[in-house]
Amino acid sequence: MTLRFHDSATAAVRDFTPLREGKASLYYCGATVQGEPHIGHVRSALAFDQLTRWLQASGYDVTVVRNVTDIDDKILVKAQENNEPWWALAYRFEQAFEDAYDALGILKPSYEPRATGHIPEMHALIALLIERGHAYPALDDSGDVYFDVRSWKQYGSLTRQNIDDMQAAPDADPRGKRDPRDFALWKGFKEGEPETAKWESPWGAGRPGWHLECSAMVTKYLGTEFDIHGGGLDLRFPHHENEMAQSQAAGHGFANFWMHNGMVTYQGEKMSKSIGNTINPREMLQIARPLVVRYYLGQAHYRSVLDYRPGSLTEAAAAVERIETFMNAALGQLHPDGSDYQGTLPEAFRTAMDDDLNIPAALAVLHETVRAGNTALAAADRDNAEAAFLGAVGMTEALGINPLDAQWQQGSGSESMANALDVLVKAQLEARAQARVEKNWAESDRIRDVLAAAGVEVADTAAGATWSLKK
Ligand SMILES: [Zn+2]
């Protein structure tokens, strides 16, 4: 089978033919760094990490770009609430995102441009759009510049919407716009905003609009035409629709494929802070090992909804343990001297991955291989055990979940100790949860005090109690 991906722009699965032979270029939207990463951000990065790894395993030299939106209305508002410079807040959360990506083994992109470092490129794109008749300075004195959606007849084509049915862009006073759907490419500076959040421009001082940032940065790093643009399904409209419109209206071919990953829900419902049904990557990493969290977040098809429920991570841990137990046993028996080995990729696994990254089917091949490998080990059938071991190595490497990889071995000297501690603390937390169910507050407090005296801090979350060691 040839490599095929679902293209959201045409709503069809198409053969992947790269623009440049042997090379693949991928841009996916990174975070607006206004807060801690939530699980949807991490799932998106992981989906495109799986894609990157599979393109590499298929022989492509892959260039990956993921942006950081480090200037945005939300960042300015939060910084003001926190009484902190906006750039300090943005950098702090950028680091939190990096930490989450690193913990889960998400490969570093080739380039990770920040919006604030690309203002001249954005000005050039705005000037080009004005020149081509697709953008105009605001009709009021706001200093904004808008994209003229009526001037671009393909507007709405990515999400297959008719322009008259589309929502207004709530990014500026509609009185300055020709059409309420026109969106801001440049936002004029307003009284009370920090002086450090404005840049001079031919249209007056201000800052870039969000959609424009991505278009300008893609072009700088990947050229006017590139292979794949990715992002979460929630970015399809308005963000990606607007990116596509302004880049194509500027005369750029832009993305050949649009790939969108599905959302994460909590027991069938949208996660929401107001309902309290949220779990973030940090909390997941307190419940389970990084390898288990990566396995869990990456096990569904990238286009389907991933539904979290309490117990999900325990099931993922059991699946990882089956793979890990076999691979450790096989390594010990077949390569006790540390002799070299090279992973292989079974045909059925390749076929599944080539088919729009069908990871559930690919994981089924992996688990079947592990079962066959265990049978072979038990029968002292070295040839079949070795074949299964090499297959498991190749498949787990392609998915970024090889338990033998140094990435997952960090601190392995104390890992058994940490695991033992985790089991003991969780037993205490379960006893405490039971005491609370029985409204036995004295017992619940006693357990918490015992844990606190041992330096264990307990946090109650929607997913249950989690723990960490006091610093
Ligand atoms: Zn973007």
Mind listing the pLDDT tens digit for each residue in 75-131? 999 999 999 999 999 999 999 999 999 999 999 999 999 999 999 999 999 999 999
Neighbours of 220 (CB within 10 A): 18
Q: How far is the CA of 214 from the centre of ligand 1 (A)?
A: 5
Q: Of 212, 235, 186, 228, nearest to 30 (Cα)?
A: 235
Q: How far is the CA of 338 from the centre of ligand 1 (A)?
A: 45
Question: Which residues are within 8 A (CB) of 187 and not within 5 positions of it... i.e. 6 or more apart?
Answer: 143, 144, 171, 172, 206, 207, 208, 209
Q: Does 332 have pLDDT greater than 70?
A: yes
Spatial strand order of the sheet with 23-28 comes to 61-66, 23-28, 225-232, 254-261
What mean pLDDT do residues 368-376 have?
98
Q: How far is the CA of 171 from the centre of ligand 1 (A)?
A: 16
At 13, the pLDDT band (50, 70, 90 cuts) reads very high
Mind listing the pLDDT tens digit for each residue in 161-208? 999 999 999 999 999 999 999 999 999 999 999 999 999 999 999 999
Q: How far is the CA of 211 from the centre of ligand 1 (A)?
A: 6
Q: What is the pLDDT of residue 412?
A: 46
CB 104 within 8 A of CB 48: no
Q: How far is the CA of 261 from the centre of ligand 1 (A)?
A: 14
Q: How far is the CA of 239 from the centre of ligand 1 (A)?
A: 6
Using DSSP's 3-state secondary structure scheme, residue 105 falls into coil
Q: How far is the CA of 361 from the centre of ligand 1 (A)?
A: 30
CB 305 within 8 A of CB 39: no
CB 341 within 8 A of CB 390: yes
Neighbours of 299 (CB within 10 A): 18
Element (H, E) at 458: strand 456-461
Q: How far is the CA of 132 from the centre of ligand 1 (A)?
A: 23
Q: Of 287, 265, 286, 292, nearest to 105 (Cα)?
A: 292
**What tokens appear for 82 in the block?**
């926190």
Q: How far is the CA of 69 from the centre of ligand 1 (A)?
A: 9
Distance separating alpha carbons of residues 388 and 392, to the nearest angstrom: 6
Q: pTM value? A: 0.87
Q: Which amino acid is at 357?
A: L
Q: What is the pLDDT of residue 396?
A: 98
Q: Of 258, 231, 315, nearest to 40 (Cα)?
A: 231
Task: Give me the percent of the chain exceeding a pLDDT of 70.
Answer: 98
